[in-house]
Every structure is written in structure tokens, then in C-alpha cells.
Chains A and B, each alone.
Chain A
Amino acid sequence: MPTALQSVSRAAEAANLPATGNIVEVRDITKFYGADVHALEKVNLGIPVGQMTTFLGPSGCGKTTLLKIIAGLLEPTEGEILVKGVPVSGPGPERAFVFQDFALLPWATVLRNVAFGLELRKDSKTMREEVARHYIEEVGLSGFEQKYPHELSGGMRQRVGLARALAVNAEVLLMDEPFSAVDEQTRRKFQEDLLRLLTVEKKTVIFVTHSIEEAVYLSDQIVLLSPRPGRIHSIIRPEIRRDVSPDEIRRDKNYLDHVEEIWQNLRKYLE
């Protein structure tokens, strides 16, 4: 069985990446909102290809801001973002975003919503619908192609948001607290489905969450951010076994220790 590092370097060669194996590099990112809100201070970070990286921290630590800067939806005040070694300004085809509030077009069917990224690229209707149908099936929404978003539950809407991001075939998925608007049961099911999906899709995922359990359960790498201004507190690699069932993972000692350790690190910011 290859180690995680070996698989990273192999994937890096295949994707023609810098020797670090990082598909995304965050360099000296500083962000001010207006003159006095200091959201991020000199953040440096590498996102390894093919892995799940989570930004975790209390509210006000700038995790969503950092994600939106990587997405190109926000301009950093200083610093730069490199994707596959190339500095980027603005969104690009190698990154796809999954929104916290789903951001689905209420007047469009599930099929058109999932195909929307391809529609913007002016792909032909038959081609984009074929791709969309494939991803609708992958996220478990077959049979709902002609429904409108208001006819779906919160969890199903986010599956549409995920299918839309998968459909454009970007290498990096950026997910902004995607499960925060759905209930706990749906959330757990969604996390399991996401992990299963990623073993098939082989994406690099950057995931923002405020849930410690979610971060430890999903991540290869957890970036712990501290607030005001947002800085990297520490980077944790939980090394969770993936060959056992989800319920066993949630009872695993390693899993529970990491949850506890992160909680001890974060609680001082609450006092």
C-alpha cells in the first residue's frame, strides 16, 4: 500500500505540477475589508493535489474569505494565489465552487442548474445535458431532473450544487460550509456520500467548516485558523483510516483524540 506522500508525488507528476505536489499555493495573502477590518494576515499554505483540505476555525477567522480569494471571487489586499504554479486573478476553469446557500437558479430545473456551468461555456445542449444527467445520477438525484429547486429539500439542493461543480470537471472543488444549512442526519449522510464520490472523482477539495467533527472525519489536512486577524494556527493531518465503516471511524480513538486536541486549541478563542 503506497503512503500518502508517495501518492501525492505520483499525482503531482501526472498533473504536471511543481515538485511540492501542491496544486494550489497561497502566498502571503493579506486581506483588509475597508480600512479597519483585518480579515487575513500573511497566510502561506500549500494545498496538496488529490487530497481534502479543510479550513477550520471560529467565526471571524477569515476561512470563507480565504476560500473566496482562492476561488478568485475576492481580491486579496496583498499576496498571490498560484494554481498549478501559475498566478491567477479571478475564477478559472480549474476551480469550481459549491456555495453555502446553494445559489441555484430558482427558475431553472435541476437539469439546467447542473448544466449551468457548461451552458456558460456555450457547450451544445445535448452535450451538456448528457454530462449533467451523469452527475445528477452520481449525487443520487436521478428522477429529479425536471424538478425546480423549491420542490427539493435543503440536502437535495446542495446535491444539485455539488453536481453543478462536478459537471464542469474542474480539478479543485471549493466548498464553502456546504452542509451548514442542512440538518445533522442529512449532513452525516452527505459527508459519507462525498467521501465515496471523491474516491471515484479524484478531486482536490478545499472545504470550509466550523464543525470539528466534520473536519476530522473528512480531511487529509486540517488548517486551523485563529481569528482577528485570520492566521494559520496549525496544520493537522489526522490520518484517519478509510478502510473501515463510517460508524467505526466515528468511534475510532485516533478520530476522537484529534477532535479533542482541536477543541482544546480552539476553546481559548471563545473565552
Chain B
Amino acid sequence: MESTIGLSGADRSEVSAFGLSRVTVYRIVSILFLFGLWEIGGLVPISVAFPTFSDTMIAMFEMIMDGRMILAYADTIKPLLIGVAISAGFGVTLGVAMGLNRRFQWFWEPIFVVLQAAPVAALIPLITYIYGIGLAAKIVAVIMLALPIIVLNAYKAVRNASTSLVQMCHSFQGTRLQQIWKVIIPNASPVIFAGLRLGVAAGFIGVILAELLITPTGIGDLITYHRSVAEYAEMYAAVFSVIAFSAVTVGLLERAETRFFRPEKKVGR
């Protein structure tokens, strides 16, 4: 297998050092490389406000152990979950409907294209005028960022469904409903899920923006507070935890997709 082109299915299962697959080894090296650069950048130091990777990890460990970070997440997760759930449910449904029906598309497409193009961060403070500074405001911020991406991806995925597969379903006398459930949606699922992953990542941005700009609570508050008292390791620990949490969530979504919609991906392409 040495001479074959990189990402074939067989390569994945190929065992390298320490019983890990070659792909896993490269991924670990990639992450270590990034953390190494961070450590060096902090040692130089680039700025007094830029802590090393190890200091940041120590700060994060302390914040988890004394409960600060856990309490902060309890605050942040609720609007995030509600916002993402609404965006995913409503967004996928609406996007699929737009893909299947021209009238829906004509009506909704301009709205979401404008929303996606708009500098939403600038609009977030306006939310307070309508929804105050509570949970609702945070949820609205999450939805404003997550929904357009999810809707537009779902719509484009359905609109570009394989005409050949749709025709095949028709030729075997599939009903319109069978065509949608058994062909169009599974066919569109990779792009729908790509939209969901981007949407969830955007939802994280939305909730943190809301906590930075509207209500100083949760993780956003941890970031703001530690910056104001110049505890940069703690501040970066909070930022790092958001990135890690977001990456894990997105990875879990990818697994769910493979498990339920596209089992052939497990076999490798």
C-alpha cells in the first residue's frame, strides 16, 4: 500500500506505530504541532496578553476543578441548545420545503440570503430592544447566526438532488412521498449535515457574542471578566474550552450522519 494514492479505504485501517491507524497519527501530530506553536508563541512572548499553552491548560484545569467553568457552561448551554434545536428543526424543514417547492423558494430565499450576508454581530445589540437581556435574547442571537446557513444548505442540497435517482424512483412507480423520503433526503443529507455543522458552529459564535455584547453571563462573562482583570491564561482557557466543545459537538454530528443516513461512508471512499 506504500505507493498508492493517499486516502483510499484500505489506508484508514492501516496500522502504524502504537497500534494507531496512520490517519489518527497524522491528526495527533497536526494538533501537537499547533499546540507547540502556541507554546513557543507564549514563551517568546508575542505579547504579555498571550499566555503559553501549558499555562492556559493549567488555568482551565483549575477553573474546571473549582466549578467556575462548569457553572458558566450551565448558563451558556441552555440558550445554545434551544437556539440550535429550533434552527435545526425549523431550518432543515424550511430548507427542504424550499428545495421541493418553487413558491417557497421565491418567498424565503431573499430573506435568508440577506440575513446570511448581514453583519449579524452589529445587529445583536439591537436584540436587547426587543427581547431584553434574558434567555430569549441569547436564543435569538443563536438563531440569527445558525438559521440562515442551515436553511440555505438544506435548500441547495435538495434542489441539486440527482435527477437520475429521482427518475429511477419514478420509473419504479414510487409516490412523491417515497421519492422525498427514500431518495431526495438521503441524497441531500451530506450537504444538509454540512449545513448543520456550520450552523452549530455559528450558534456557538452567536451565544458567545450575546454574552459578550448583551448579558455578561456564562462563558462570555468568564472571557470578559478575566480580560478586565488581566488574567489572560484564564481568559484563553475559556476561549479554548469553547473551541474544543464546539469541535467535539460538530464531530458527534458527523458520526450521527454516517450512522443514520450514509452508512456507505463507513466503508470509505
Contacts and interface: CB of A to CB of B under 8 A. Distances in A.
Interface in B168-201: 168-175, 178, 182-183, 186-187, 189
Interface residues of B, number: 24
Contacts of A72: 171
B179 to A, nearest CB: 9
Interface stretch (B14-22, B27-35, B43-51, B261-269): B261-269
A120 B169 contact: yes
Contacts of A93: 173
Contact of A151 (B165, B169, B267): B267
B182 A119 contact: yes
A225 B144 CA distance: 58
B172 A103 contact: no
A142 B233 CA distance: 62
A49 B116 CA distance: 59
A106 B183 CA distance: 10
Interface in A100-124: 101, 103, 105-108, 116-117, 119-121
Contact of B172 (A91, A108, A151): A91
A148 B169 CA distance: 18
A135 interface: no
Contacts of B186: 105, 107
Interface in B61-116: none
Given A99-B164, A120-B178, A120-B182, A150 B264 contact: yes
Contact of B165 (A71, A73, A92, A105): A105
Interface string B138-172: 00000000000000000000000010110111111
B57 to A, nearest CB: 41
A172 to B, nearest CB: 12
B262 A107 contact: yes
Interface of B: 162, 164-165, 167-175, 178, 182-183, 186-187, 189, 261-264, 267, 269
CB-CB nearest 8 A-B residue pairs = A148-B264, A103-B168, A117-B172, A97-B171, A120-B174, A103-B164, A91-B171, A107-B262
